Amino acid sequence: MSGEPDSKAVAPKPPAPPAAFSPEDMARRNRRSVALALVLAGLVIFFFVVTLAKTGPAILNRPL
């Protein structure tokens, strides 16, 4: 992506990825999924609260 590859530093080779997920890897990925779920749940609450703040509490006062 860069036009001047010569100016780049020579980096050591990063660790190779595992051939398959070990049980520890799967546990890490599960924890990551749980964290992502919590973030998404937090976003739902965030948008709900911000919507109330933007529109005002009157949005709750409507005929059913």
Partner 1 sequence: MSAAFDQIDPRHDGAALPSTGEARDFFVLLKPRVMFLVIVTALGGLMVAPGSVNPIIGFASLLAIAVGAGASGCLNMWWDADIDAVMSRTVDRPIPAGRITPSEALAFGLTLSIGSVLVLGLVANLLAAAMLAFTIFFYAVVYSMWLKRSTPQNIVIGGAAGAFPPMIGEAVVTGDFGIRSLVLFAIIFLWTPPHFWALALVKSADYARAGIPMMPNVAGPAATRRQMILYSLLLAPVGVLPALMGFGGMIYLAVSAISGLLMVALTLRVLRVTEGEPATKAAYALFGFSILYLFLLFAVLLAEHGLGLMWALPVVIG
Least separation in angstroms between CB 61 and partner 1: 19
Q: In angstroms, give the least distance from the CB of 21 to partner 1.
A: 7
Report in angstroms how near the CB of residue 50 gets to partner 1 at its nearest: 5
Q: What are phi and psi of 23, to 5 degrees?
A: -60, -35
Q: State which residue, 16 or 64, has the beta carbon closest to partner 1.
A: 16
Cβ distance to partner 1 smaller for residue 6 or 63: 6
Residues 6+ apart with CB under 8 A from 18: 25
Euclidean distance between CA atoms 23 and 42, whole angstroms: 29
Comparison of 35 and 59: residue with beta carbon closer to partner 1 = 35
